Structure 1
Amino acid sequence: MDKGIGFKSYCWSIGTTSYRTDNFNLSIEKQLQLLKQFRELKENKNKEWNGNNEFQAEYYNFLKENGFLKGEAARPDKDAREKTSGLRDIGLLDDERNITESGLELLKIASLNDFSSDNFLEISKDSYLYFKQMLKTSNFIEGKEVRPFVVFLYLINELEYLTNDEFTYLLPLCIDEHTTKDIISSIKRHRKLPVYYK
């Protein structure tokens, strides 16, 4: 492996582990609808999200009152940020947690219950919207814009598959053209090594 690739605890980050949930698509759509309702309340119009812990806690309580959450959070403001960060990262919300055009389009698909597959990939409309959002999703790492899903597709195209370890430990190191090419060549070399059994 190239000595220029330094250790990182992680390189890519989208959302939080709070999105390890059942009925993922449905949860996103329900939360977007609730956030829309919350933002439309007279007292919430034009309120800033960033740095406003009280407003964030109010959103958490609104989710709870509407059956989206259960239990008592030690830090409701933090939980509210966790619940919305992934939606912001994939472009369904802006930094102030207002619904974007893509988020509104997803709500429209859900409200019309129109999950037809009228696109070139022949997947449901909501999945197609998520696919397009993932193509646009990016992280800034060491001053470079990295599009994780695009990099993943590139590696799959070059290597045909990734093992769990390659996906977990090597893929997130691909933060520019140089490291990506090094990772690909290292994986190819490693795969050619003989396997020794005890």
Structure 2
Amino acid sequence: MTLRTHQLNFPLSRSDALSLRAGDQVVLDGEIVVTAGLPTHQRLLRCLDGEELLPMDLRGASVFHLGSFTREVEGRLELLYLNPTTSTRFNPYMPRLVRGFDWHAVGGKGGLDTACSQALQEVGCVYLSFLGGGCTLLSQAVTEILEVGWSDMLTHYRLVRLRVKDLGPATVAIDAHGRSLYDEEHAAARQQRGQILDHLATQRNKARQSIS
């Protein structure tokens, strides 16, 4: 299979999301929003319920599970790092957030579950998998901090809108057509489980025989 790499402007449009396929590589330019906060996702749901006002416009945004630390230096904001966090923690919240805010690109590391994949397909949204531990590479792609929301929260829980250049590459791990590389890997692992257990049992018996 030929590896396809796309350099795209963000926030990602629905048409661009639909043009991508699972396994494609994406390099990001433009504006993204990041947060690593479980309480942040709960707060976003309250915004959808009309219980709280949003600190920034998130309609159609590209929102990623990337932890960050920002500080103010001589009147300007400075970002110290950008690093992926595990998306599976947000499974209960993502379907409603994707639908409610009409997101066409989300991401982080570790993937999302089947209910989330269904919401992505419904809205026309991809899940991008970022390099775990790729803090230095990802941080270098940030060119500007545009906006910080909910400064009353812990730094890495805040919503931070960034301008990036050459962020990535990230892998399309769940595409907008319902294909999930995570589901495929899980299925393959389940299929091979019996063979793996049989092999381990054989090796264990050999080890016992060599000792006795």
TM-score range, shorter chain: under 0.3
Larger proportion of helix: 1
TM-score by length of 2: 0.23
* Higher RCO structure, 1 or 2 (CA under 8 Å, sep 6+): 2
Larger proportion of strand: 2
TM-score by length of 1: 0.24
